[in-house]
Chains A and B, each alone.
Chain A
Amino acid sequence: MDREVNFKRLAIAFSICVFFLYAGLVLSLFHFYKGPLFLETLCSARTLFSLKLSLITATTATAVSVFFAIPSAYALSRYRFFGSQVIDTILELPMIVSPVALGALILIFFNTPAGTFIQERGVQVVFTVYGILLAQFITTVGIATRLIKAAMDEIPARYEDVAKTLGASPAKAFFTVTLPLSRRSIIASAILTWAKALGEFGATITVAGSMAMKTETLPVAIFMRLASADIEGTAVLVLILLAIGLGLLYGVRLLAGRPSYV
């Protein structure tokens, strides 16, 4: 009994340590905090634009990522097809390759004939909002697929067999059984993906640039402040990103909290 309690205490202690690590960093922001500057920065047109841009692009990119991730994850989870192992591994590409390298890859692509064609005949991507969406999408779709695949792996394929013997086509079985059962995990994966997209910096600044009031997301704005040696401004923006980001994440948690299926 004693050992059980000690183990529990130890485990909790570890999680508290992690909390203090992050909390400590956040609190150190206040070393450079200037009250009136905070309000002034928060209400400035430039900051509000960055905030709006960040929220809109993160949400859109997440939606597209999840849209691609769900069927891909299903295929990787349920079917053994030629190349599935390779695909599964390549999903880790964005995590291995640094975001800036990823952005560079995208820029290099648009230098190729194919990329040039797209930009001339189709849509301008480099240094536009579309660039932000592309950068965020490419950085997050891999991990979104991985997360959702893990969620689907938890749903026994047996349920789909049952649905089939009851007359449901594989597509119907997916929509009426697999998807509802993995709903909560998919939402959790989407939330994580959103957080990653919101904080995306390296690929975004490389592909979409850093033009204020045009392609300057909040993480990019933070970097630009630091690059102009404006440390107080940096601290303020970091605080804003933290507050809005964590606030929204927590809010969604409260809303999406529902009993899970055993």
Chain B
Amino acid sequence: MPRIELRNISKHVLNDLNLIIEDKEVMALVGPNGAGKSTVLNVIAGLISYDGEVRFDGRKMDRTPPHRRGVGYLFQDLALFPHLTVAANIAYGLKVQGYEAGAIATRIDELTKALHIERLKERYPQSLSGGEKQRVAIARAVAPFQKILLLDEPTASLDPQTAKYLRAELGVLLKRLEITAVFVIHDLLGAEEIADRIAIIHKGRIEQVASPETIFFHPGTDVVSEFIGRPNILTCDQCRVLSSGLVEITSGDMRMVLPYEGDMIGKIAISPHDIYISNTKPPGPAINRYQAVVTEIVRHRSLVRVRVAIGKTSLVAELAEGIFDEMDIAEGREIYVVVKLRRLRYVESM
């Protein structure tokens, strides 16, 4: 269950990259396409040559070939062996490393039960659904008692519902097996669900490594800020529980009702997408609805960022160019603002 250290790694787009993943930690590697995420995984696994040092628990691994590093890898395309059954796929690592038949059978039972795929044991990968394949791939990767697991976009090809369930199960499994895991994911929200820490990587450099909360409320660099979507950060002056699951907070001149299980909120981050503006009074109840003044309009590619002032509080809303152009909005005008939060995402508690 080692601690992974990457020192001065240079390869392809990576340029003198340094990263430390603590023992038994689950770290998410997030960044745009071409940032070098998959390269980092390949370096840890030893599947490509690189300059620099990789250490597991302080031991240099640079001369060790991939099949001796004990690093499991869940590739984005899964690559389940088509010529083997599900059971044989899962057993592959154990068989190849010389485990006894009995031990192998036990391990297969244990993992298939944990991932709810017992009834699939004798099937072939071609006949499985996307989610089922994913589970088999996970079972196969962790079966040979690997101490480290790398995952490349493990839920990218699944529908949001299945992805959510799988992420939860994965989180539980990783903790139970005490595995140090690094997974690449482009969806920040998904990352936050199971990661202990998030590493933001951009153009081959690590911009920031921190807990999800820290990243959101204290973005280290402009790049990180841009990447997390420049959320609006509001400090809660007061906090009142309305009923179970509902909280009312006061921030500056705004009063908001939020879905939240706890009772003490320090700050919240609202994505500009969740702020809606309109010329006319929007229908529905007046909850989380405000009157504001447009202070700034900025066009950025095909999006328009509108800064509005609700009393002393300033918020940024982001909408598509087409939708904005249909409305008649100019700086200095008065408009309606509605904050729609289907789910509260980022909260810094007291």
**A interface list, Cβ under 8 A from B:** 156, 158-159, 161-170, 172-173, 176-177, 180-181, 261-262
Mark contacts of B119-137 with chain A using CB atoms, 8 A cut-off: 1 yes-contact digit, 0 otherwise: 0000000100000000000
Whether B96 lies near A168 (C-beta < 8 A) is yes
How many angstroms from the CA of A158 to the CA of B68 in the assembled complex?
Answer: 18
Q: Is B28 an interface residue (CB 8 A)?
A: no
Partner of A262, one of B47, B75, B82, B97: B82
How many angstroms from the CA of A163 to the CA of B93 in the assembled complex?
Answer: 7
Which residue of the partner chain B has the closest CB to A172? B96
Whether A165 lies near B83 (C-beta < 8 A) is no
Sample 14 A-B pairs with CB under 8 A, ordered by A number: A156-B79, A161-B79, A165-B71, A165-B72, A166-B140, A166-B141, A167-B68, A167-B70, A167-B93, A168-B67, A169-B67, A172-B67, A172-B96, A180-B83
Whether B72 lies near A166 (C-beta < 8 A) is yes
A159-B81, A180-B83, A181-B83 known; A167+B73 contact, CB < 8 A: no
Q: A167-B96, A170-B65 are in contact. List 13 more A-B contacts (CB 8 A).
A: A161-B75, A162-B81, A164-B65, A165-B71, A165-B72, A165-B73, A166-B141, A167-B70, A167-B93, A167-B97, A173-B67, A261-B83, A262-B126
Give chain A residues whose Cβ lies under 8 Å from the Cβ of B97.
Answer: 167
Give chain A residues whose Cβ lies under 8 Å from the Cβ of B82.
Answer: 181, 261-262
How many angstroms from the CA of A92 to the CA of B235 in the assembled complex?
Answer: 74
Q: Is B171 an interface residue (CB 8 A)?
A: no
Contact residue range for chain B?
20 to 34
A261-B82, A262-B126 known; A166+B96 contact, CB < 8 A: yes
Whether A165 lies near B67 (C-beta < 8 A) is yes
How many angstroms from the CA of A170 to the CA of B66 in the assembled complex?
Answer: 9
Q: Is B212 an interface residue (CB 8 A)?
A: no
Whether B79 lies near A158 (C-beta < 8 A) is yes
Mark contacts of B48-68 with chain A using CB atoms, 8 A cut-off: 1 yes-contact digit, 0 otherwise: 000000000000000001111
Whether A166 lies near B144 (C-beta < 8 A) is yes
Give chain B residues whose Cβ lies under 8 Å from the Cβ of A262.
Answer: 82, 126
How many angstroms from the CA of A164 to the CA of B66 in the assembled complex?
Answer: 6
How many angstroms from the CA of A240 to the CA of B92 in the assembled complex?
Answer: 49
Partner of A162, one of B68, B73, B126, B143: B73
**B interface list, Cβ under 8 A from A:** 45, 47, 65-68, 70-73, 75, 77, 79, 81-83, 92-93, 96-97, 126, 140-141, 143-144
Across the A-B interface, give the 3 residue pairs with the lowest CB-CB distance, nearest first: A166-B93, A165-B73, A164-B66
Give chain B residues whose Cβ lies under 8 Å from the Cβ of A261.
Answer: 82-83
Question: What's the nearest-Cβ distance from chain A to residue B328, in Å?
Answer: 51
Question: What's the nearest-Cβ distance from chain A to residue B104, in Å?
Answer: 13
Give chain B residues whose Cβ lies under 8 Å from the Cβ of A161.
Answer: 47, 66, 73, 75, 79
Whether A163 lies near B77 (C-beta < 8 A) is no
Partner of B96, one of A156, A158, A159, A176: A176
How many angstroms from the CA of A169 to the CA of B97 in the assembled complex?
Answer: 10
Whether A167 lies near B81 (C-beta < 8 A) is no
How many angstroms from the CA of A162 to the CA of B126 in the assembled complex?
Answer: 17
Question: What's the nearest-Cβ distance from chain B to residue A167, in Å?
Answer: 4
Give chain B residues whose Cβ lies under 8 Å from the Cβ of A158.
Answer: 75, 77, 79
Question: What's the nearest-Cβ distance from chain B to residue A108, in Å?
Answer: 44
Question: What's the nearest-Cβ distance from chain A to residue B195, in Å?
Answer: 21
How many angstroms from the CA of A193 to the CA of B263 in the assembled complex?
Answer: 77
Partner of A177, one of B75, B81, B93: B81
How many angstroms from the CA of A168 to the CA of B96 in the assembled complex?
Answer: 6
Which residue of the partner chain A has the closest CB to B66? A164
Whether A163 lies near B75 (C-beta < 8 A) is no
How many angstroms from the CA of A173 to the CA of B75 in the assembled complex?
Answer: 17
Whether A167 lies near B47 (C-beta < 8 A) is no
How many angstroms from the CA of A177 to the CA of B92 in the assembled complex?
Answer: 10
Question: What's the nearest-Cβ distance from chain B to residue A118, in Å?
Answer: 40
Give chain B residues whose Cβ lies under 8 Å from the Cβ of A173.
Answer: 67
Give chain A residues whose Cβ lies under 8 Å from the Cβ of B67.
Answer: 163-170, 172-173
How many angstroms from the CA of A262 to the CA of B80 in the assembled complex?
Answer: 11
Whether A159 lies near B66 (C-beta < 8 A) is no
Which residue of the partner chain A has the closest CB to B149? A165
Which residue of the partner chain A has the closest CB to B67? A164
Whether B45 lies near A163 (C-beta < 8 A) is no
Question: What's the nearest-Cβ distance from chain A to residue B314, in Å?
Answer: 50
Whether A162 lies near B79 (C-beta < 8 A) is yes
How many angstroms from the CA of A148 to the CA of B277 in the assembled complex?
Answer: 64
A165-B67, A166-B144, A172-B96 known; A159+B79 contact, CB < 8 A: yes
Question: What's the nearest-Cβ distance from chain B to residue A7, in Å?
Answer: 30
Give chain B residues whose Cβ lies under 8 Å from the Cβ of A170.
Answer: 65, 67
How many angstroms from the CA of A91 to the CA of B97 in the assembled complex?
Answer: 37
Give chain B residues whose Cβ lies under 8 Å from the Cβ of A159.
Answer: 79, 81
How many angstroms from the CA of A181 to the CA of B144 in the assembled complex?
Answer: 23
How many angstroms from the CA of A169 to the CA of B65 in the assembled complex?
Answer: 9
